[in-house]
Amino acid sequence: MRRFIVEISLIFILTVLAVGIVYEHLTVRVNTIGKEYRFEQEWLVSAISVACGQGFTTPTAPYPENMQLFLEQKTDSMRISDLPEDWSRWDNSPFVKTHRYLIITIGALWRLFGIHWDVLKLYAGILFIITVLSTYITLYMLAGRIPAFIATFLVINAPSLLFLLPSIRDYSKTTFFMLFLALSATLFHFLSKGVSLAVIISSLLGLVIGFGIGFRQDVLILFLPGMFFVSIVCFKLFYQGNKFAGIMCLLFYLFSFFAVGYPILSAVAEDKGAVSSHSLVQGLATTVEKTSLGGSSSYRLVYEPNDMLVHSTIVSFARRMGFQEPFNNYLSPAYGKVGRMYFRSVVKHFPADLWGRFLSVCSNCFSTPYHFTKEQQRNRPEFSRFASLLFFADRLPFWDMLIAFIGPWVVLGLILIMGMQKMGKGILFAGILGYLLGYPSILFEFRHVVHLVPILYGVVVLFFYELFVECYRFLLGLYQKEQTWGGVLIRLRNGAFVLIFVVCACVLLYSILNIWQRQQVAKLVVSYRGLKWEEVKTKQSVDGACILFQPAQNLPAFEKSSDWPPMETPFEFLRADFELEEIIPIYSRYDRTYCAVDFSEPLHSLLLYYNMTKDKPLRVSVYFLVYSASTIKPRDEIVFNNQEPIVWVRGEWKGVEIPKGFEKAFRGLYRAENPSAEPFLMTVAVPEEDTFKGNYKHWRFAWNFMNVYKNLEHYKKYEIYK
């Protein structure tokens, strides 16, 4: 009874503290939750329809006046009667359908409390409280109340989580990840308590994942580990002779997942996974890799995660592959199909890069809480307002900085300790932790990693707790003469074996994939050289301190670009030759009128792996794609209120830009007459005589303290402590 009272008291203290902190944060530092915090108002249109009792539908624009003012945040609330029942409707897009449960729950809360922006603060607060309690349950089941209380206290005060909270769609992943881990830990903890309990928890596990993908598709990443956990339980019950119970656990897990997740999975299938395909290619962007991963090389697949640049990359690849199906609209089913084709080609040609990126993320994700906090403090001055209950939270970035350095080593230490306890447990723990920490490599952006903060904090706290317990037991055993040095050495040997096995397996796989990748990249370079190249006559124009070499006439693919459908993207594969005595700024320049289709990018960053001097200049060819992509002509009104007819405009490639005084370095511009001869095209710098270098990505790993320092130093100038 006393133990029960203690547990309830700790949970009560944490809940009260969480309520106070989240209330202070959302009332003092956040005025509204809407457009300003990346919660797109287009989806709230459907939530308003739900709140008005008109079902999961999308009213057409332009909207009634009061509803329009509410969406523009010019008023705090609107009445249910402001949206007439006979208002015309759009068919919900697949993208809106994939957020079904997010929209419906917001609509239900608005129907209950009124359509008011402040209701979303209540919604966000509920998600935060669930996250806090789930964190406590997870750590309690794994190690007990002490590490659970410490880790949960840190999570409650985590500035990165609080800053992400107003972006409900992004934050919701945190809640479902921690619910998943809490149920998984409970499943194993109470496995011996009763078969019926195992079946119930297995069902809840599937239910959480199925419901969670209706908030963000990313939650689908939990299906495989959930299946793995339930399968372990199933095999254990089989071993104990209870085959029926084992089968029931597996069936109930699958049934509850598909029963709840079916509407979302149907919406994903409707557009052939176009959104996920798009995100996969966005994740390959150089600017994403530079966030904190490194990833330097002599080639790049995509420069930045610009939506239309990614779209152009995939569509042009489709046409080179002979794919004839039209792209009727943005993120169409055809686009989803081709996006997966493109990514499969990436896997074929660059498997080492993907694996190295995965390993790099496993270590660099520990820097994310600090990075995200600095980024938000820089962009959101309201997050620096004084709030009495946030005194500790405002100083937690120092803790975030600490775990950025020690976190990657803590992971290795925890694998060692788990391996000392049980070798199988150590390997299992390494696999699960690697999966959870490494999967954000799909699209490594700070807002896509912050949901792991409870896991990151929990790993560090759990390591120090387990280390303390191991040392205490060792010293106590020596004192009571129940422990021998031989036994300790055996346990250390087992832990070291597990750690060495995990590290060597990762390195060996990387080495094998690297050998394959170098061959694939070499073949691509040879195929580029073997294309039919036609010289493009250029003219020079001076702009300030730069000279632009631009085609004297329109390139053939762009002559009739205005006649192309909006979602089709004409392209050219070009080669610019240079003779360089030093690295100079070289850019591929586009017209800057419309930023959405301005794909300007630096080319000189691909030359870092080559040596050049005045005595031995480097003759190098830079191969790159250029596009004429379409976009909606910007208007004064916000995007969700655009009315027909929509005016489409296209971007224009201008030429190659270098500094004045280096005109002689430019040796000519050429276009490929037959780019379809090699469907997989990328931007790459290839010397004419020297060996091709930089043929794999060079990642930064946070196990090197200098890499962590460089990552944090990049944001140091933005630090704000008030």
Secondary structure of 554-574 in HEC code, one letter for each residue: CCHHHCCHHHCCCCCCCEEEE
Sign of CA dihedral 78, 80, 81, 83: positive
444 and 544 housed in the same domain: no
Q: Is 232 a member of any domain?
A: no
Residue ranges in the chain modelled with pLDDT below 70: 32, 34-42, 483, 635-645, 690, 714-722
Residue with tokens 């779209």: 311
Q: Is 144 a member of any domain?
A: no
Tell me if 71 sits within 8 A of 46, measured CB to CB: no
Q: What percent of the chain has pLDDT over 90?
A: 62
Angstrom distance (rounded) from CA 624 to CA 646: 31
Q: Is 624 a member of any domain?
A: yes
Angle between helix 145-157 and 453-479 (nearest 10): 150
The secondary structure element, H or E, covering residue 300 is: strand 299-300
Number of domains in the chain: 2
Which pTM does this prediction carry? Answer: 0.91
DSSP letter, residue 647:
P
Fill in the amino acid letter for 448: H
Per-residue pLDDT at 41: 57
Per-residue pLDDT at 405: 95
Angstrom distance (rounded) from CA 628 to CA 649: 10
382 and 456 housed in the same domain: yes
450 and 338 housed in the same domain: yes
474 and 588 housed in the same domain: no
Tell me if 666 sits within 8 A of 578, measured CB to CB: yes
Angstrom distance (rounded) from CA 289 to CA 352: 15
Angstrom distance (rounded) from CA 237 to CA 244: 9
DSSP, residue by residue, 15-66: HHHHHHHHHHIIIII-S--SGGGT--HHHHHHHHHHHTTS-S-EEPSSPPHH
Q: Which residues does 141 contact at the CB level (< 8 Å), separation at least 6?
A: 182, 185, 186, 188, 189
| Structural domain boundaries enclosing 290 | 274-424+437-487+701-716
Q: What is the dihedral of CA 506, 705, 360, 218, to 10 degrees?
A: 120
453 and 574 housed in the same domain: no
pLDDT in tens, 199-209: 999 999 999 99
Tell me if 607 sits within 8 A of 583, measured CB to CB: yes
Q: Is 690 a member of any domain?
A: no
379 and 442 housed in the same domain: yes
Angstrom distance (rounded) from CA 147 to CA 153: 10
Q: Which residues does 81 contact at the CB level (< 8 Å), separation at least 6?
A: none
| Token pair for 106 | 């917001």
Residue with tokens 């932790």: 433
Integer CA distances (angstroms), 60 to 27, 74, 170, 263, 640, in order? 33, 20, 26, 23, 10
Tell me if 668 sits within 8 A of 574, measured CB to CB: no
579 and 658 housed in the same domain: yes
Which residues is 285 bridged to in the sheet? 302
Q: Is 380 a member of any domain?
A: yes
Beta strand 115-116 pairing with 630-632? unpaired
Angstrom distance (rounded) from CA 300 to CA 177: 33
Q: Please, what's the b/e burial string for 577-609 (b: 16 or more CB within 10 A of its CB; e: otherwise)?
A: bbebeeeeebbbbbeeebebbbbbbebbbbbeb
pLDDT in tens, 9-34: 899 999 999 999 999 999 888 876 76
- The backbone torsions φ and ψ at residue 116, rounded to the nearest 5 degrees and listed phi first, read -145, 140
pLDDT in tens, 429-484: 999 999 999 999 998 988 889 999 999 999 999 999 999 988 888 888 777 777 67
Integer-rounded Cα radius of gyration of the chain: 28
Which residues is 538 bridged to in the sheet? 551
Angstrom distance (rounded) from CA 183 to CA 203: 10
> Can the peptide bond before residue 94 be classed as cis, meaning omega within 30 degrees of 0?
no
Q: Is 223 a member of any domain?
A: no
Angstrom distance (rounded) from CA 400 to CA 704: 17
Tell me if 671 sits within 8 A of 538, measured CB to CB: no
- The backbone torsions φ and ψ at residue 642, rounded to the nearest 5 degrees and listed phi first, read -60, 135
Angstrom distance (rounded) from CA 126 to CA 122: 6
The secondary structure element, H or E, covering residue 89 is: strand 89-90
460 and 565 housed in the same domain: no
394 and 280 housed in the same domain: yes
Per-residue pLDDT at 40: 57
| Token pair for 48 | 């308003």
| Token pair for 292 | 């904190």
Per-residue pLDDT at 34: 66
Which residues is 539 bridged to in the sheet? 550
574 and 707 housed in the same domain: no
Tell me if 595 sits within 8 A of 627, measured CB to CB: no
Angstrom distance (rounded) from CA 189 to CA 137: 11
588 and 710 housed in the same domain: no
Q: Is 669 a member of any domain?
A: yes
335 and 465 housed in the same domain: yes
Q: Is 408 a member of any domain?
A: yes
